[in-house]
Amino acid sequence: MEKIIELLRESDAMLEGHFLLSSGRHSDKYFQCARLLQYPDKAQTALKPVAEKIADDIKSGKIKVDIVVGPAMGGIIAAWEVARQLSLPAIFTERDDTGTMTVRRFELQPGQNVLIVEDVVTTGKSSMECAAALELAGAKVTALACVVDRRTEDAKDIPWPFYPGVKVSSENWDASECELCKKGIPVVKPGSRKKI
């Protein structure tokens, strides 16, 4: 886990300031994993322990995985790298014109076992949206993995086996209770969802 933190720092993927997260919450840290994942060697190193744990659980029969799916945008490269290490196919979900997560470019087989891979999990909102799209397409979500787990202690439980690369504690608030907003510090939205 320390190696992943080191890789995040080396690639300037762990930012500090006042950020609006994709979940709508505010935080003092932002993980721009794309800065890490742009380097294939660093992506391989960061996701190797995740892929190894998943491979062990597949081998022991704890989980079944037929295909790996990454929600666009952040999960695409992470999912591809985990799939590469597991010798499985990788696809992605994406938002349609209404903002709904959907499976557009690929077909899933009924009952196909899916591992969702994200870059960062804060509330699990995009993972749940991805899961809903996959289930609508007839697949079965069997596990979730990510590079960074930044969920708070009171976050909802993940309903599947969960494989985070690293757990990082950082402050995050509901927008109406944000300590940084109270101090008048401007908020920045660096992610892939619509801007402020």
What pLDDT, in 10s, does the model give residues 109-159? 999 999 999 999 988 889 999 999 999 999 999 999 999 998 878 778 899
Q: pTM for this one? A: 0.89
What pLDDT, in 10s, does the model give residues 26-57? 999 889 999 999 999 999 999 999 999 999 99
As a whole number of angstroms, the distance between CA 61 and CA 192 comes to 36
As a whole number of angstroms, the distance between CA 141 and CA 15 comes to 31
> Which whole-number Å values give the CA distances from 156 to 79, 122, 124, 128, 151, in the listed order?
23, 10, 8, 11, 9
As a whole number of angstroms, the distance between CA 92 and CA 82 comes to 13
What pLDDT, in 10s, does the model give residues 147-167? 999 887 877 889 999 999 999
* CATH code, 2-182: 3.40.50.2020
As a whole number of angstroms, the distance between CA 146 and CA 167 comes to 10
The answer to whether residue 191 scores a pLDDT higher than 70 is no
Task: Give domain limits for the chain.
Answer: 2-182
Radius of gyration of the chain (CA): 16
Q: Cα-flanking dihedrals φ and ψ of residue 146, to 5°?
A: -160, 165
